[in-house]
Structure 1
Amino acid sequence: MTIRPRRSALYMPASNAKAIDKARTLDCDVVILDLEDAVAPEMKAEARAAAVAAVAAGGFGRRELVIRTNGLDTPWGADDLAAAAAARPDAILVPKVNDGADVATYANATGAVPLWVMIETTRSVFRLDEIGAALAKARGGAFVLGTNDLAKEMGARPGTLRAPFQGMLAMAVAAARAHGLVPLDGVFNGLDDEAGLAEQCAQGLEFGFDGKTLIHPRQIGPCNAAFTPDAAAIAWARAIVAAFAEPDNAQKGAIRVDGKMVERLHLAQAERDLAVAAWAEG
């Protein structure tokens, strides 16, 4: 199984040519060319053309390139989806999905391109398993949390540790994992709050997110550091992999490693940690 780290996913306004050029040099794992929130209405068509041109031009290296479109309930959504599907980025991210029917509608519009969905409406919170099942059926993809929109709909004031959202965050990760999808955490708004960003990244890691969406390049380094296994985690992962590789343990479901009981589920996590660490070094 190929493991592709997505520790840091940076939103970049597709209407900003300098931002797109800069994205080709940044150390993020994912670049999301945004046609939605970051683009003014009068710039939508120009941003769409720029995103398509950026995909065609390439130059993003190993970074995953995603286009976030406007919704089908907007004047720009249908054209965005048609253009993005023809451009064939690594994935198309769509906003404000409410249920499995929405996923199916977007899947029909995006053709063979993998589909990612924003989990950012109160309705979606009660349909996470349904959305996950539909997305897995439709070449998914990823759950991307849109916590700012959730806060707006709820009238919530979440703070750094997002007390009003903790149940939703856990359920979103569980639904994503249940259907083989990637869960990505929402953005952190405090551009100058390095301590707050580190705290929220650590929380996202605890919940089981693969990484976090970001709104500024200065957030990439701290986010990558948080979602990259540290030296102790790498050493432990290597010990687990080596132990299961021993001939006597080949058929065992659980073994003893350094005085601890370890199961094959821990082997899968160890292999993922080593893959992420190798990516970070690469």
Structure 2
Amino acid sequence: MKLSRNFYRPLALGAPAPIRETPVRVERMIHFVPPHIEKMRAKLPELVRSVDVVLGNLEDAIPADDKLAARQGFIHMARNTDFGAAGLWTRINALNSPWALDDIVEIVAAVGDRLDVIMLPKVEGPWDIHYIDQLLAQLEARHRLSRPIQVHAILETAEGVMNVEAIAGASPRLHGMSLGPADLAASRGMKTTRVGGGHPDYVVLADGSAGTERHRFQQDLWHYTIGRMVDACLAHGLKPFYGPFGDFSDPQACESQFRNAFLQGCLGAWSLHPTQIEIAKRVFSPDPQEVAFARRILDAMPDGSGAVMIDGKMQDDATWKQAKVIVDLARLIAARDEKFKLLYDL
């Protein structure tokens, strides 16, 4: 086990100092782009104005024959696009694949100074984070990068869920985690082919007598895992995210799943289709009425102490903390998004 005094020491001579505080950014959606498709890269100048994060995807959904083209396409888009306020991420191939090492080495050498986050799939334990942490430090030193590249872990195996707390505490390089429901379902042996969302057979029945119609209430397959992930992330100062929702024909179900994740503490979700961008913006931005009420709480309790009554409801230091979370997030979003600046009157 690494000594606590060494936790924030660079892992290679000449590497930048590890991050002590995760950069504060609005990341309501991580929008996936297949970088081997030229017409998709051509849309980037317009896309970056509407999304919080652009991610060049190298892993799942990229055919094996296109892996090298996707890597080169990502390097091209990173070099030739002004991302403005949008973050630039890539999802590399899994560490047990034949492409992962070259993904890391070639991308850091070519565009490491522009890259914010590497998303690492199928993280099973802290050892995966330790490996990429050391390798990135060596590459950052070799290429004289001035800031460390962060790592975002995808939680998509049973072993990864079992080790989620150890993963969260593995390195100061960690940005956060995303739920990967499709691979996790396969790893657990779950009987579903859906990519995220619920299942019509995962229900509880209302009480009732034999022979009478009983109401069915669909449950959330991912509630337990999201709760564990959120607790592990927030305990270590990391950012939790919901992953993909694969049914593009059902925006209502997508919005419902995103909202459940938002209420549980997730800061954003993946968007795989342009229609999901606006859903993520709507869901992961606080409701204007909630923001207005939260501001009233902060105004009534400037130092966060004591208790006051607002509209017949008691507010104390605990609700002051809740209100501050909402208002702080609203201010970040208002600085990024003119539409929400007007809605929030900030």
TM-score by length of 2: 0.74
Secondary structure class of the residue paired with 1:25: helix
- CA apart distance, 1:39: 1.4
**Match of residue 11 from structure 1:** 32
Secondary structure class of the residue paired with 2:337: helix
**Match of residue 197 from structure 2:** 160
Of the structure 1 ranges 262-271 and 173-182, higher mean CA displacement relative to structure 2 is found in 262-271
**Match of residue 127 from structure 2:** 101
**Match of residue 211 from structure 1:** 268
> In the aligned structure 1, how far is the partner of 2:46 from the partner of 2:39?
11
- CA apart distance, 1:131: 0.3
Of the structure 1 ranges 79-88 and 142-151, higher mean CA displacement relative to structure 2 is found in 79-88
- CA apart distance, 1:242: 2.4
1:152 is aligned with what amino acid?
Answer: A
**Match of residue 76 from structure 1:** 99
1:195 is aligned with what amino acid?
Answer: Q
Secondary structure class of the residue paired with 1:115: strand
Identical-residue share of aligned pairs (%): 27
1:138 is aligned with what amino acid?
Answer: P
What do residues 134-162 of structure 1 show as CA deviations (whole Å, max 9, x unaligned)?
Answer: 1xx23110101111111122232277346
2:26 is aligned with what amino acid?
Answer: P
Query: Do the aligned residues in 2 keep the contact of 1:234 with 1:273 (CA within 8 Å)?
Result: no
**Match of residue 120 from structure 1:** 156
**Alignment partner of 1:25 is 2:25:** no
2:316 is aligned with what amino acid?
Answer: V
- CA apart distance, 1:63: 1.1
Bigger radius of gyration: 2
- CA apart distance, 1:280: 3.0
For residues 130-145 of structure 1, what are the structure 2 equivalents within 5 Å?
Answer: 130-134=166-170, 137-145=171-179
Query: Do the aligned residues in 2 keep the contact of 1:3 with 1:275 (CA within 8 Å)?
Result: no
1:127 is aligned with what amino acid?
Answer: N
**Match of residue 252 from structure 2:** 195
> In the aligned structure 1, how far is the partner of 2:294 from the partner of 2:106?
43
As a proportion of its length, which structure holds more helix? Answer: 1
RMSD: 2.0
> In the aligned structure 2, how far is the partner of 1:71 from the partner of 1:212?
20
Query: Do the aligned residues in 1 keep the contact of 2:116 with 2:149 (CA within 8 Å)?
Result: yes
Secondary structure class of the residue paired with 1:9: strand
Query: Do the aligned residues in 1 keep the contact of 2:150 with 2:174 (CA within 8 Å)?
Result: yes
2:131 is aligned with what amino acid?
Answer: T
Secondary structure class of the residue paired with 1:164: coil
**Alignment partner of 1:273 is 2:329:** yes
Secondary structure class of the residue paired with 1:15: coil
1:21 is aligned with what amino acid?
Answer: A
Of the structure 1 ranges 22-31 and 156-165, higher mean CA displacement relative to structure 2 is found in 156-165
Secondary structure class of the residue paired with 1:274: helix
Query: Do the aligned residues in 1 keep the contact of 2:57 with 2:92 (CA within 8 Å)?
Result: yes
Secondary structure class of the residue paired with 1:37: coil
1:273 is aligned with what amino acid?
Answer: L
**Match of residue 11 from structure 2:** none
Q: What are structure 1's unaligned runs of at least 5 residues?
A: none
- Which residue, out of 58, 68, 73, partners 1:45? 68
TM-score by length of 1: 0.90
Of the structure 1 ranges 201-210 and 22-31, higher mean CA displacement relative to structure 2 is found in 22-31
What do residues 203-262 of structure 1 show as CA deviations (whole Å, max 9, x unaligned)?
Answer: 1112110011121111111111011112211202222332343xxxx3x53432514223
Q: 1:10 to 1:257 in 2, by over 3 A?
A: farther
